[in-house]
Amino acid sequence: MKIYVKITLWVCFILCLNSLLYSQNTNQGEIHGNIQIDAQTYQADSTINAPKVPEKMLLNSYANLVYTRGKFTAGLRYEAYMNTLLGFDARYNGTGIPYKYITYTDDNLEVTAGNFYEQFGMGLVLRTYEEKAIGYDNAFEGVRVKFMPFKGLTVKGLTGKQRNFFELGPGIVRGADADLALNDVVGFLQNSSTIINLGGSFVSKYQPDKDPLYKLPENVGAWASRLQIMRGGWSLYTEYANKINDPSADNRYIYKDGQALLVNLGYTTKGFGWILNAKRVDNMSFRSDRNATIMQLNINYIPIFTRTFTYTLLNKYPYATQANGEIGGGTELLYKFKKGTMLGGEYGTNLSLNYNRLHSLKKNNPTDTNAIGIAGTLGYQSPFFEVGDELYYENITAEINKKFSKTFTANFIYQYFAYNFDVLRGMTGHGMVYGHVGVIDAIYRFNDNHALHLDAEMLFTKQDKGNWAMLTAEYSIAPSWFFSVSDQMNYQNPESNEINHFYLGSIAFAKGGSRLQIGYGRQPEGVMCIGGVCRNVPASNGVMVSLSSTF
Amino acid sequence: MKNVRYIIPVLILAVLNSFMACDKIDAPYKETHNTGTDTTTYVQKVLIEDFTGHRCGNCPRAHEKLHQLITVYGDKVIGIALHSGFFATPLPPNYPADFRTTEAEELATTFGVTQWPIGMVNRTAYNGSVLLSHDAWSEAVANLINQTPKAHIAIQANYQTASSKVDASITIKLLQSIEVPLKLCVYLTEDSIISAQTDYDMNPNLIPNYVHMHVFRASFNGTWGNELSLTGKQVGDTLLRQFNLTWNAAWVKKNSHVVAFIYNANDNTIIQAEQGSIQ
């Protein structure tokens, strides 16, 4: 029966597209899209513990198609995992069209039926998005209405289920959000240089209670409010969220309410910027299946304030947001030394300083038991303004970006970090990892088309796998060719048989909207633990082929 | 009059919100049970296969959940611990034991296990997934356990000293007509093995004397078992199948069990299971 309904819906969808395409209108609309194919061969390599892969080759691929005509947009995404690349969830294995939608947009109304992504405020109670690189996709399937009754007010309402690999999760999510630009509405603010925006959201999920062990809430509500004030170079953004009892796999079935507060304060002027942020997150994991784990079925998103880098060794020990509880903050200073000054030189020098520190929450015994965190109790009490004793993460980062001449530019980074391995990877027995990372990244341009890019990175730590070094050289011939070789090595690994070279070489060719990259090399292994579930991302050795095309 | 337009969106929100009620739960949060022993002759049994490993620090949470369900449902819930994958590899000197078996590895690969702990409840999809996190097991068990059984399995297992083998006689009684092709699997599990386990809830996390329960040891008839033909059989008929397994001296007989189950060969879903001790 179900298959017939599916087929009927598909026929309707195609007919709809067809009638749009071939109706006797002057405007025939436009089709755009993109395709991405990533494949890798795997060979067993005992020196780096790369396992044997029975398929010998694995492949992730997808294609997006978007058709726009007048007030209508329709689109779909086909995905194929045959089978998933190592490190991705094997539940993606297979093919399908998990994303398809039709949107109607008018002056003050937008209606979407099918799949969609949405975000309320910073996402503390609702944010869906996709990130192919890590296999994250929590898209809604349902309906969404955006309504702008008058200038300054946007109201959104949605209901849907969420994507769970090639299925939908069991829970139904209902949400509403309003965004009010006060300057457009309140008379005396209309010409004011102070800009004030207000917002509020309410989200509720429904999942039946079929659990024989616990009395579970079937409807779990969460709300959030936000305020943004901007004046001159100053800006303040704050968002507060609250969620009622939501026992789940993430919080180990405790019945405490959840809450989260974010505050961002910033000042910018020409050549100078300063940001201060603070956050407190307490029991705010929110999923449309209470038993989902890792990257499945998240309704909300806890923003991460620590700066993220693309450099490999700066990503060996990255901070991961702790939805179960964290308190901390950070600050960043950006300064540009002007041209012609001693530090600025001929072209000016950019300096950025960054500091972050995050701790556990202070937890006291709950009222209904004398132990913390027992399933089927309130779990714990947490005084709002007190900081827990356990350090989760700390970093100090300095970055200098300098253009020395018309042909030579370089970037220098130093970072000190303290990383709570036990908490951030969900596995005890490792303790804290303290380290220093240095990066020198230089680009030399021979002429308009030829450029050489050299990147040297060092990571020094006495814990975990010891010191790492990495060198990368890239040569590009614009606009089509790109050559790269790199090697990383944990040269002071306390386990001497784990000291290995992880070399990687690749060639890429780009033309028009298409790019083909072929590489060969080794990648080191890692163990990833999120929400109490661990996945071993094995080392690999093989040929990588990546093809992308946009049209 | 101009203000009327402000009211519309507020009303929309109010109406939406009124639909989205919250369920505030008051203590006690745990359900009270009166399950105990089921006195009916034939009951549906539920097999939980727990993919686990002695170096998997979150796996004791799944062991606890299985124990909790066996406490609530008694012998209607049967457990098998399938030590498999990276976290099951031995790491001397602290983790010398090797509980891995080719059968468990094959099951892990076939069902696509890439994270531990994870499990299957009668190899039946619940909320679209056959692989379930341990927090979802209780719901999945509740969903299956009150079904009217389609078959009944009885196990008679005897140790033969002369041949150092265990003979297992499996009797299957048809209680309803079954239209799908069936297979019968017979496994051996062992309880109360004292060996190391990582437990992230403990400090230090190495538990040298952890008690391992339901450890899969061997199969009498391979990972996927034998076909069980129902040709010519009527509801009420019984089928007898006999198997034997060479005993490994390292196993403890009084702690071992024979687990037999029949499953739909088309989609792997388990129809009935049983557990018996060795005489």
Q: What is the pLDDT of residue B88?
A: 94
Distance from CA of B197 to the nearest CA of A (A): 13
Which residues on chain A are in Cβ contact (under 8 Å) with B17?
A: 176, 202
In whole angstroms, give the CA distance from residue A185 to residue A198.
11
In whole angstroms, give the CA distance from residue A299 to residue A228.
23
Q: What is the mean pLDDT of residues B141-169?
A: 95
Q: Is residue B38 part of a domain?
A: no
Among B193, B67, B109, B71, CA closest to A90: B109
Enter the DSSP assignment of A48: G
Does residue B7 carry a pLDDT above 70? no
Which residues on chain B are in Cβ contact (under 8 Å) with A211?
A: 31, 138-139, 142
- Cβ within 8 Å of residue A477, ≥6 positions away: A449, A450
Question: Which of A219, A221, A534 lies at the smallest CB-CB distance from B116?
Answer: A534
Contact B29 A529 (CB under 8 A): no
Distance from CA of A210 to the nearest CA of B (A): 5
Range of the domain at B108: 46-277
Question: Which of A210, A218, A221 lies at the smallest CB-CB distance from B139?
Answer: A210
Contact A155 B13 (CB under 8 A): yes
Which residues on chain B are in Cβ contact (under 8 Å) with A172?
A: none
Which residues on chain B are in Cβ contact (under 8 Å) with A218?
A: 23
Q: Is residue B34 part of a domain?
A: no
In whole angstroms, give the CA distance from residue A529 to residue A424.
8
From start to end of A257-378, where are the E strands? 258-269, 272-282, 325-337, 349-361
More confident residue, B19 or A285: A285
Distance from CA of A214 to the nearest CA of B (A): 4
Phi, psi of A248 (to 5 degrees): -155, 170
The CA dihedral of A77, A78, A84, A89, to the nearest 10 degrees, is 50
**Tens digit of pLDDT at every position of chain A (551 positions):** 454 555 455 545 544 544 444 444 446 889 999 999 999 999 999 888 888 888 999 999 999 999 999 999 999 999 999 999 988 888 899 999 999 999 999 989 999 999 999 999 999 999 999 888 778 899 999 999 999 999 999 999 999 999 999 999 999 999 999 999 999 998 888 889 999 999 999 999 999 998 989 999 999 999 999 999 999 999 999 999 999 999 999 999 999 999 999 999 999 999 999 999 999 999 999 999 999 888 889 999 998 888 888 888 988 888 888 999 999 999 999 999 999 888 888 899 999 999 999 999 999 999 888 889 888 999 999 999 999 999 999 999 999 999 999 999 999 999 999 999 988 887 777 889 999 999 999 999 999 999 999 999 999 999 988 999 999 999 999 899 999 999 999 888 877 777 889 999 999 999 999 999 999 999 887 665 454 455 567 889 999 999 999 98
Q: Classify residue A42 as exposed, middle or buried by CB count within 10 Å of its CB (0-12, 13-18, 19+).
A: buried
Which residues on chain B are in Cβ contact (under 8 Å) with A216?
A: 25
Question: Which of A155, A202, A535 lies at the smallest CB-CB distance from B9?
Answer: A155
Contact B30 A155 (CB under 8 A): no
Contact B135 A291 (CB under 8 A): yes
Looking at every residue in chain B, the average pLDDT score rounds to: 90
Taking CA–CA distances from B142, the nearest residue in chain A reads A212
Q: What is the pLDDT of residue A134?
A: 79
A143-147 contact pairs (CB < 8 A, 24+): A143/A111, A143/A112, A143/A113, A144/A110, A144/A111, A144/A112, A144/A116, A144/A118, A145/A109, A145/A110, A145/A111, A145/A112, A146/A109, A146/A110, A146/A111, A147/A108, A147/A109, A147/A110, A147/B9, A147/B12
Distance from CA of A198 to the nearest CA of B (A): 14
Whole-angstrom CA distances from A272 to A233, A461, A494 are 10, 33, 44
Q: Is residue B121 part of a domain?
A: yes
Whole-angstrom CA distances from A332 to A229, A260, A519 are 20, 22, 37
Contact A212 B142 (CB under 8 A): yes
Distance from CA of B115 to the nearest CA of A (A): 5
Report the SS3 class of residue B33: coil
Question: Which of A89, A167, A218 lies at the smallest CB-CB distance from B23?
Answer: A218
pLDDT-derived band at B202 (thresholds 50, 70, 90) equals: confident
Contact B135 A294 (CB under 8 A): no
CATH of the domain at B209: 2.60.40.10
Taking CA–CA distances from A154, the nearest residue in chain B reads B9
Contact A214 B31 (CB under 8 A): yes
Contact A213 B138 (CB under 8 A): yes
Whole-angstrom CA distances from B136 to A232, B57, B132 are 52, 19, 6
Distance from CA of A296 to the nearest CA of B (A): 12
Phi, psi of A377 (to 5 degrees): -135, 180
Contact A331, A394 (CB under 8 A): no
Q: What is the pLDDT of residue A15?
A: 45
Distance from CA of A482 to the nearest CA of B (A): 35
Q: Is residue B41 part of a domain?
A: no
- Cβ within 8 Å of residue A247, ≥6 positions away: A214, A216, A217, A253, A254, A255, A290, A375, A376, B29
Among B88, B73, B77, CA closest to B212: B88
Distance from CA of A186 to the nearest CA of B (A): 12
Q: What is the ipTM of this complex?
A: 0.79
How many distinct structural domains can be found in chain B?
Answer: 1
In chain B, the percentage of residues whose pLDDT exceeds 90 is 78
What is the CB-side half-sphere exposure of residue A159 using CA atoms within 13 A?
A: 7
Question: Which of A90, A214, A292 lies at the smallest CB-CB distance from B112?
Answer: A90
Taking CA–CA distances from A217, the nearest residue in chain B reads B23
Q: What is the pLDDT of residue A194?
A: 94
Question: Which of A157, A291, A529 lies at the smallest CB-CB distance from B136?
Answer: A291
In whole angstroms, give the CA distance from residue A318 to residue A316.
6
Distance from CA of A528 to the nearest CA of B (A): 10
Contact B132 A291 (CB under 8 A): yes
Which residues on chain B are in Cβ contact (under 8 Å) with A536?
A: 85-87
Q: What is the pLDDT of residue A381?
A: 93
Contact A253 B135 (CB under 8 A): yes
Taking CA–CA distances from B8, the nearest residue in chain A reads A149
Which residues on chain A are in Cβ contact (under 8 Å) with B127?
A: 164, 167, 169-170, 289
Taking CA–CA distances from A156, the nearest residue in chain B reads B13
Distance from CA of A348 to the nearest CA of B (A): 50
Q: What is the pLDDT of residue A532?
A: 47
Q: Which of A83, A92, A211 to probe by mutation at the B interface, max B CB count within 10 Å?
A: A211
Q: What is the pLDDT of residue A189?
A: 87
Contact A176 B13 (CB under 8 A): yes
